[in-house]
Amino acid sequence: MFTIEHEFDATVVTLVDEGETPGTTPLQEDVSIAAFDECVTIEQWDPRTDRVQKITLSMAQIRDLAAALDLPEGVYRLNRPGEE
């Protein structure tokens, strides 16, 4: 399950782990993804440290991640707009 909220400066997607089958997979904490004009942040509560862990990705890293999801194992460099 997930939610989508449009805020003033970001679109926030929250991913809720409902588990595959009750009792077989420990559920993970919700993941909150906020997309801004210049970056994307990913946050998740870490019960081991009792803190929210946050990762910030540039838009170039997001493009690379999206491309990587559909590619086989290897090393790649995507051409950026304006590059040959």
Domain count, the chain: 1
Residue 79 lies in a domain: no
75's tokens: 């090393």
The Cα 7–Cα 1 span in angstroms is 20
Residue 81 lies in a domain: no
Residue 83 lies in a domain: no
Residue 80 lies in a domain: no
Residue 74 lies in a domain: no
pLDDT in tens, 5-53: 999 999 999 999 888 766 667 789 999 999 999 999 999 999 999 999 9
Span 61-75, average pLDDT: 90
Model pLDDT, residue 83: 65
pLDDT band with cut points at 50, 70 and 90 for residue 71: confident
Write down the pTM of the prediction: 0.80
Q: How much of the chain is helix, strand and coil, in % rounded to 5?
A: 10, 35, 50
Residue 84 lies in a domain: no
The distance in angstroms from the start CA to the end CA of the chain is 41
Residue 76 lies in a domain: no
Nearest residue to 82 (alpha-carbon basis) of 57, 61, 60: 60
Residue span of the structural domain in which 43 resides? 2-17+28-68
